Copies of this chain bind each other. A is one copy, B any other.
Amino acid sequence: MNIVVMGGGTGTYTALMGLKKYPCNLISIVSMMDSGGSTGILRDEFGVLPPGDVRRCIVALSESTPLMKKLFQYRFAAGNGLKGHSFGNLFITALKGIMGSDAEAIKQACTLLNIKGKVLPVTLNNVHLCAELENGQLIKGETNIDIPKHDPALRIRKIFLEPQAKAFEEAVHEILDADKIIIGPGDLYTSVLPNLLVEGIREAISQSKAQKVYVCNVMTKYGETNNFQVHDFAGEVEKYLGKGVLDLVIFNDKKAGKHLLERYAQEHAAQVGFSLEKMGKWKFIKTDLMTEPNLIRHDSDKLAKVIFES
């Protein structure tokens, strides 16, 4: 079974970590609009495509030694110009210097880290994510949407790319060839939806005979999805993907503990609620997808089981 997982951040990592235990061919298609931190600096200084999310997906699928994976995720804690850089990002940047192209660099990083499956950039174009807020204000750059300098209470009206990006051909091919396409989990406007803005991706998903599944987040994110419920997430996905395209929505229905929710509330994040009435237009699976205490996150094994068996 060919399973395509679309996203970018921690959510995609979690899904891949779980799914890799199942007998399937995993293809991770990664958003290439990240512009923050180590990744943002390398974009600016080397003109390399953002390596951060690619790196995380490679680690998720790597069958290398634990040390090699640890090294790939290592972050320098000191050094003028080195501090804060992820070693894996430098690894991919150096490979681009040697190979001459981002596509080859990512491909070779996958080979050197001995990954099971594929990690593909959604596009090879160097583009930036932009958002228009409900008051008409324009925000440029993924990191400025992810970590807002504007009033985070404002809703995002729409997002778009500047300039427009074309889909990486191999990613389109894998979407068309997939049996399941998993969209999410992950930050809605900065990790998940950016993939759907790329010219050719939305069309490929529509054409594909794959089952199209959206996995909803467990927590809202301040400045992106304040007070969102599951149907708000799914509705936004279909706004960019096309109405009626999703075959299934998977979401968590287990309540987190009060104490934990209070801690998250300090960062203006709340557990994503749901209204069965408002889910009427979607086929859905609601179940316990939570990890054990301390963090409100998806459990990779629980999530993979539901995805695989649905």
Complex: how many Å from CA A45 to CA B45? 21
Complex: how many Å from CA A74 to CA B94? 7
Q: Is A108 an interface residue (CB 8 A)?
A: yes
Contacting pair B98 A71 (CB below 8 A): yes
Contacting pair A45 B78 (CB below 8 A): yes
Q: Which single residue of chain B is at the shortest CB-CB distance from A109?
A: B71
Q: Which of A59-112 contact B (CB under 8 A)?
A: 65, 67-68, 70-71, 74, 76-82, 85, 87, 90-91, 93-95, 97-98, 108, 112
Contacting pair A79 B81 (CB below 8 A): yes
Q: Is A308 an interface residue (CB 8 A)?
A: no
Contacting pair A95 B71 (CB below 8 A): yes
Interface size class of A (residues with CB under 8 A): 20 to 34
- Given the complex, which residues of B lie within 8 Å of A70, measured CB to CB? 98
Taking chain A's interface residues, is the majority helix, strand, or loop, or is none over half, making it mixed?
helix
Shortest CB distance A83–B (Å): 8
- Given the complex, which residues of B lie within 8 Å of A22, measured CB to CB? none
Contacting pair A74 B98 (CB below 8 A): yes
Complex: how many Å from CA A82 to CA B45? 10
Complex: how many Å from CA A95 to CA B87? 10
Contacting pair A80 B79 (CB below 8 A): no
Q: If A94-B71, A97-B74 touch, does A80 touch B45 (CB 8 Å cutoff)? A: yes
Contacting pair B78 A108 (CB below 8 A): no
Contacting pair A94 B67 (CB below 8 A): no
Shortest CB distance A2–B (Å): 28
- Given the complex, which residues of B lie within 8 Å of A95, measured CB to CB? 71
Complex: how many Å from CA A140 to CA B70? 37
- Given the complex, which residues of B lie within 8 Å of A67, measured CB to CB? 98, 108, 112
- Given the complex, which residues of B lie within 8 Å of A42, measured CB to CB? 79
Q: Which single residue of chain B is at the shortest CB-CB distance from A64?
A: B112
- Given the complex, which residues of B lie within 8 Å of A108, measured CB to CB? 67
Residues of A within 8 A of B (CB): 41-42, 45-46, 65, 67-68, 70-71, 74, 76-82, 85, 87, 90-91, 93-95, 97-98, 108, 112
Pairs across A and B, CB under 8 Å, 25 listed = A41-B79, A45-B79, A45-B80, A46-B78, A65-B112, A67-B98, A67-B112, A68-B112, A71-B94, A71-B95, A71-B98, A71-B112, A74-B97, A76-B90, A76-B97, A77-B97, A79-B81, A80-B81, A81-B81, A81-B82, A82-B85, A82-B90, A87-B90, A87-B94, A90-B90
The 3 tightest CB contacts between A and B, nearest first, are A81-B81, A45-B79, A87-B94
